[in-house]
Amino acid sequence: MRYRLARPACREDWDVYHRIRQDVLLESQKYALEHPDEEDEPGHYPLLLWLDDRAIGTIRIDKLDAEAAALRLIAIDPVLQGQGHGGALLREAERFACSLGCAKAVVYSTTEAIGYYEACGFNEDEWAECEIAGVAQMVKVLG
């Protein structure tokens, strides 16, 4: 199996990107189902995780400053969850963040996912001034 991250390249890719996010993040969390145009936002990198020739996951990486990249909107297609693809997505995202010159990755984690992120090398640490109820701030040093 070969994994890679790539920006959605065509309308079909964008449709898959939004479908996975909607199925995993938006519908299940009851957030608004708007699809903002992310194609040209500077410093924001909407990416699909590809397994060979199939898009199976999404992530948006935001370069926060010269040192940190935020990993956001992380999702694996529901039918493929629990098979190790999330770990592959994080590894590819960390490589991508390093390619941007970032030395650390940060993430907001739900309380249910804290243990997962800890197993992937993240530690609870405040990286943003705002606090969100039920969400932990986590940091991983890259390299």
- The CATH number that applies at residue 39 is 3.40.630.30
pLDDT in tens, 19-54: 898 888 654 454 444 555 555 677 889 999 999 999
Domain that holds residue 25: 3-141
Q: pLDDT at residue 55 above 80?
A: yes
Q: Which amino acid is at 41?
A: E
Q: Cα angle at 91 between 132 and 39, to 5 degrees?
A: 65
pLDDT, average across residues 95-117: 93
Q: How far apart are CA 116 and CA 124, in angstroms?
A: 12
Number of domains observed in the structure of the chain: 1
Q: What is the pTM of this model?
A: 0.85
Average pLDDT, the chain: 87
pLDDT at residue 34 in the model:
53
Q: pLDDT at residue 6 above 60?
A: yes
127 CB-near residues (< 8 Å, 6+ apart): 68, 106, 137, 139
Q: How far is CA 48 from CA 2, 115, 131, in A?
A: 13, 24, 28
Q: Which residue has the higher pLDDT, 42 or 91?
A: 91
Range list of H helices, the chain? 11-21, 27-29, 85-99, 114-119
